[in-house]
Structure formats: C-alpha cells, structure tokens
Amino acid sequence: MIQLLINRIWQSLLRLLLQRITLVLTLMLCVAIAIAISNMSRLSSSLIESQAVQNAALNIQSLTQAFDLYSAAAADRAKLVPGITVTHAYLNTKGAIPLPSTFAIELGEQISEKNAEMSVRLYSNYPYPWRTKGGAKDEFERDALNFLKENPRQKFYRLEKKNGNTTLRYAQASLMKASCVTCHNTDATSPKKNWEVGDVAGAWEISQSLDNLVTKTNQSLQGTFAMLGGMSVLGLSGLTLVVGKLRENSRNLEHRVKERTTDLAEANTELEKRNQLIRQVFGRYLSDTVVANLLESPEGLKLGGERRKITILTSDLRGFTALSERFPPEEVIHILNLYLEYMADVINHYQGTIDEFMGDGILVLFGAPIAKEDDALRAVTCACAMQLAMGGVNEKMKTLGWPPLEMGIGINTGEVIVGNIGSEKRTKYGIVGSQVNLTYRIESYTSGGQILISEQTFKEVGSSIKIIGQKQVQPKGLSQTITIYEVYGVGGRYNLYLPKEEELFLPVPQEIPLLYTILDDKQMGNPVFYGRLVKLSAKGAELQVDIPNEVPPKLTNLKINLFISKNSAQVSEDIYAKVLEKPTIRGNFYINFTSVPPSLIAQFDNLYKIISQKSN
C-alpha cells in the first residue's frame, strides 16, 4: 500500500516536471549563475587580500634591507670618522648624520607623503623621549606589538573598514641587530638597557587602501557576468527547442513503461515465490549464508571451488554407536534430533556454517562462504558453548529416561578447497583437503566433554583462549608429530568456561577381571588382552594388565568386557572407553568410559557410591 502511494507521488512529480521543464531549467540556470557569481566574488576578494599582503611583505622587506644597508655602510662607518656625529638631531648639528632608526622613520614619512594610497610607519614599545610619535597610537599597533613580541617570525595583519573604505594594515617585527645592542644599552636616554640580539625592537607597518583594486576587479567581473548571462540565454533557447521533442518521446516511453512495469511485477511475484520455496527447501539442509550466496550470486550454483584458509570444527558423540544398538530406531532418531537442535542453535549464534550432519557427528565451517577476521576465535567459542549446551541436552535425556550423552570436539585451521562439489544434477556445498582429515584425527583423540585444537588454530586465537594442557600426537597419515591443545574456556568479551571436575579414582573392594581389544578407526583388532579393574571413578577406571608390556597406547579406543565371575567365561555386555594420558604405575593405565550398558551403569554407580562413603 505504502509502495503504491510512493509510486503515485513520484509519477505526479515527474509529470509536473515534464510539463514545466522550461521553467524548471530557467530556475536551475539562475541558481547556477548566482552560485557562480557568488564564488567568483568571494574568490576575487580572497585574491585581492592575498596580493595586498604579499605586496606589503615585499615593501617591508625593501625597507628592512635599506635600514640594514644604511646602518652597516653609513652609520657604523661614520662613527669612526673624526668630525662626523651620528645623532637623531642631525639637522641641528654640524657634520652629523641621522641615526639608523631616525633614517628609517623619516624614510617612511616621505613614502607616506608621496603615496596617497599607502603609508609606512616604524614604532616601538620603548621609544626614546624625543620621539613623541614613536609609540603605539591605536589598538591595531598595540595588538601588533604584543603579537610580534611572542611571534617575532610571523606576520600580523588586519582588514579595517572605515567610512566605506577598506584598508589593509600589515605589521612585521623589527629585530634588534648586534650593532645596535651596545648603543641602546649604554645610552643614558635609552628607555630600556637590557636589549639582546634578536629582541623585538619595534614593528614596521604598511597601511594600504584596497579600494582601487576592488573597483578594477569589480569592473572586470561585470564583463564576465554579462558574458555568462548571454551564454545562458543562448543555452536556454536551445534547451527549449529540445524540450518539445523530449515531451513527445516521454509520452511514448510512459506508455511503454506502464506495459513493461506490469510484466515485471508479474515476473517479480513469480521469482519471489520461487526464491521463497528454495529458501524453505534448502534452508533445512544448508545455513542461511550458503542459501543467500546461492540465490544472490549468479555464479553461486556453478561447480568448482577456491582455495581458502578457514577454521574447521567437527564434533562427535562418544559411544553413540553402541547406544543406538540398544534403542529402537525411532528413539535413536528422537535422541539425535534433540541433540542436533541444541547444537544447531549454538552454531548459528556464532555464525558457523553447518556443512554436514553425519549421524551423530557435525562438520562446521568458520570462514566459508563468508570469511571474517575472528573465524578461529568464534570457532573455539562455539565449541565451548556447545559443550555447555550439553547440560541442557542431558537434562532432557534424563527427563525422557535416556542415558546422558558426552561429546568430543576437534578444531583445526588451514587451507582447503571450498565450493560446490558434485554434478550438474546434484550439488553439495562442501570442503576438500588434507586439513579436513586432520580435523577428524584431532577429534578422535578427545574424550567426552573435551575440546582439542591444532597448533595453527592456537596461533590464530592467541591469548584469548584458556588452555588446560597440550600433547604431542602423530595422527595417521602424518610423518611427524603435531601439538594439540585442550581448551577449557574463552576469556574477553565471550567469557565462557567449562566446569572443571577433578576425577577421583578409588580402589574397588575386589578387583574385577576383564578382557579388552583395541579399536582401530572403530574396527576391532584381533588380539585380546586380559586384565583387572582395580580403581573406579564417576566416569572412568584404572585397569591393570596381566603383562605390563601390553599396556595400550594412550588415547586409543578400547572395547572392554567384564567377566561375570572369576571362574566363569561368561562376560558382560560391551563397554567402550578411551585410554587417558594420566600417569600411573607400570602395568596400569586409566580409561574414560565412552559407552556403558544401562545395567552396568547402575552397577558402577552403586559400587562407586559405596567406596566413596568408605573413603570418607
């Protein structure tokens, strides 16, 4: 409704302008001429002032040079000749010549008498008693002496208007020379006897009338204005002839525009419906930024990619595969949807691009399709927020009668190929490169609740994140070890920290025999090892192997089965765990449970409660 009203108002204004185009052009031309005249007048005034100041400075420079020449070549040399006296009263003294300052004052008076438009004056704050007119006689001269005393190397001038006449008054410092200092400081009649070389002795002033310059300039401008007016009339006449033809063309175009506007409105409606449908369909599978990139960029749907430095985050639920085997498919999907809904909200909050849901795993990009300076920091902050959000997930799980979930997160920064991958019929926005595989490897070293980042990501985020430890690992496919860091929080404006829980391992009353196998990429290895559970914690245990050399490598995944009794070969359901780096005695190692059957959870909880009470 508002858009329609705006269109009608605009069309009415356009028609009015077309009907009165000659009047509009005339008014615009008059305004332009007025602006031009104003600017030219202002420019001419500025030029007159600048030229007058320059002329005054040159005149004072000439007077100063004459003063210096007379002082050095005449007065100073005459003092050495017998019979010649240098005095202010030279007219009344036989064989006398004037003092340099007397010479300068009288030179200025003669110039002023012979030039009606310019006057020259030399004055001081310390005139000799016989110089009745040697001091400042008005406000300008007092201001000039005060200013030049503080700024002897600068100029002081002012434009004064009186009785319709404009006068430039320009003053410049007269500095005390070495040849004059002794004379002034030793003369009994001198009003000041502590002169130093470079002191401001007085001020030269040039007063010049600008009226003649202004009159000549205005006469020149009048001719220019007349020429502009004539050219404007000729131009306006030509425009009037053209306007008639333009009006005719305008009527034809208006009719065509109405037809095309109707067609475009229908096409835009259809296009908006199509884009809305695309957003609804693709928005369920891609992030808003990827969908916007596809819709707004004509090249967005083309196959291919570009090399770009991004930060990759991948997460995975610990022991979810074993958990899913114990629940009906419908409940597994319900659990997954609950977990992914929480995680997707957090990821979107920190502007991550969800590239893929892989069962219980999530692949998130920071820096694609839109790169930002803080991609790495937002990725680590997002990981902390995701781990904190697991508290809400597990509260829901507990309400629904399901076991709690634990998640591990790996983060890496590096160059990948990012773009549209697939065929013309089926395309996926994704990433390819060795850095993606490295991110998955880093995530595989995590236990539930952990965040591990690569060294490159650590360098990108700097001191903003808080590290609880670091370790050297050699992921599969790499020829050398790398350093990974465990994050427990982010400071600064985000201020997110994971809760620190010190795990307490307590000895069990009776060792529990068991067997275990090592999982390689979630595939069971062939060897079977035997040992005993000797200590228990809320989330893990300490195991002891029968053969000390058979302690599994740190950070490996295990499948464990407890023997029902010492003399029985019957074993419990599968328990999955990860070997920790926590040091202990030879032949022992610590584990963190990643998946425990419900029946054993209750048994472990009950046992840990009993031994905790005994230890207290």
**Tens digits of per-residue pLDDT, 120-152?**
888 888 888 877 777 888 888 888 888 988 898
* Whole-number percent of the chain with pLDDT over 70: 86
pLDDT of residue 134: 78
Where are the domains positioned within the chain? 49-214, 302-497, 506-614
Residue 522 predicted with pLDDT over 60: no
Confidence bin at 476 (pLDDT 50/70/90): confident
Report the alpha-carbon distance of residue 463 to residue 489 in Å, rounded: 11
* pLDDT top residue among 88 and 436: 436
pLDDT of residue 467: 92
Report the alpha-carbon distance of residue 447 to residue 579 in Å, rounded: 9
Residues 233-259 have a mean pLDDT of 72
Residues 251-260 have a mean pLDDT of 80
The mean predicted confidence, pLDDT, of the chain is: 83
- CB count within 10 Å of CB 491 equals 12
Give pLDDT tens digits for 319-335.
887 778 878 888 889 99
Rounded to the nearest 10°, the torsion over CA 371, 374, 376, 381 is: -120
- Full-model pTM: 0.54
Range 49-214 classified under CATH 3.30.450: yes
Which residue has 């407890």 as its token pair? 562
pLDDT of residue 286: 54
- Range of lowest pLDDT (73-87, 485-499, 549-563): 73-87
pLDDT of residue 292: 67
Residue 103 predicted with pLDDT over 50: yes
Beta pairing, strands 588-595 & 575-579: antiparallel
Report the alpha-carbon distance of residue 612 to residue 457 in Å, rounded: 40
Residues 82-89 have a mean pLDDT of 79
Residues 289-307 have a mean pLDDT of 63
CB 517 within 8 A of CB 524: yes
Residue 362 predicted with pLDDT over 90: yes
Residues 485-491 have a mean pLDDT of 94
Nearest CA to 111 out of 171, 50, 60, 170 is that of: 60
Cα 233 from chain centroid?
53
* pLDDT top residue among 228 and 58: 58
144-147 long-range contacts, Cβ below 8 Å, gap at least 24? 144/171, 144/203, 144/205, 145/200, 145/202, 145/203
CB 414 within 8 A of CB 456: yes
Structure-block tokens of residue 476: 């599969």
Rank 244-258, 284-298, 538-552 by mean pLDDT and report only the highest: 538-552
Residues 230-245 have a mean pLDDT of 68
Structure-block tokens of residue 302: 């083309």
What backbone phi and psi angles, to 5 degrees, belong to 57? Answer: -65, -40
Confidence bin at 239 (pLDDT 50/70/90): low
Residue 299 predicted with pLDDT over 80: no
Residue 337 predicted with pLDDT over 90: yes
Residues 528-543 have a mean pLDDT of 92
Confidence bin at 285 (pLDDT 50/70/90): very low
The secondary structure of residue 563, as a DSSP letter, is B
**Residue at 19: amino acid letter:** Q
Residues 454-481 have a mean pLDDT of 90
* pLDDT top residue among 187 and 365: 365
Beta pairing, strands 118-123 & 96-97: unpaired
Residue 227 predicted with pLDDT over 90: no
* Whole-number percent of the chain with pLDDT over 90: 28
Residue 598 predicted with pLDDT over 50: yes
pLDDT of residue 387: 95
Residue 163 predicted with pLDDT over 60: yes
CB 529 within 8 A of CB 540: no
Confidence bin at 489 (pLDDT 50/70/90): very high
CB 203 within 8 A of CB 145: yes
CB 422 within 8 A of CB 432: no
Residue 189 predicted with pLDDT over 90: no
Angle between helices 21-70 and 100-114 in degrees, nearest 10: 140
Which residue has 């020259």 as its token pair? 120
- Range of lowest pLDDT (8-22, 510-524, 601-615): 8-22
pLDDT of residue 243: 64
pLDDT of residue 304: 63
Confidence bin at 281 (pLDDT 50/70/90): very low
Angle between helices 2-19 and 21-70 in degrees, nearest 10: 80
Q: Residue 561 forms beta bridges with which residues? A: 515
Residues of the chain by 3-state class (helix, strand, coil), percent to 5: 45, 25, 25
CB 112 within 8 A of CB 122: no
Confidence bin at 368 (pLDDT 50/70/90): confident
Confidence bin at 532 (pLDDT 50/70/90): very high
Complete DSSP assignment for 318-335: TTHHHHHHTS-HHHHHHH
CB 175 within 8 A of CB 201: yes
Question: Domain 302-497 class?
Answer: alpha beta
Structure-block tokens of residue 335: 């659990």
Give pLDDT tens digits for 338-358.
999 999 999 999 999 998 888
Residues 95-104 have a mean pLDDT of 81
Residues 72-88 have a mean pLDDT of 78
Q: Is 212 helix (H, G, I), strand (E, B) or coil?
A: helix
- CB count within 10 Å of CB 601 equals 15
Confidence bin at 293 (pLDDT 50/70/90): low
Give pLDDT tens digits for 396-450.
998 988 888 999 999 999 999 988 877 767 777 788 999 999 999 999 999 889 9
CB 544 within 8 A of CB 529: no
Structure-block tokens of residue 536: 């228990």
What backbone phi and psi angles, to 5 degrees, belong to 318? Answer: -75, 125
Question: Domain 506-614 class?
Answer: mainly beta
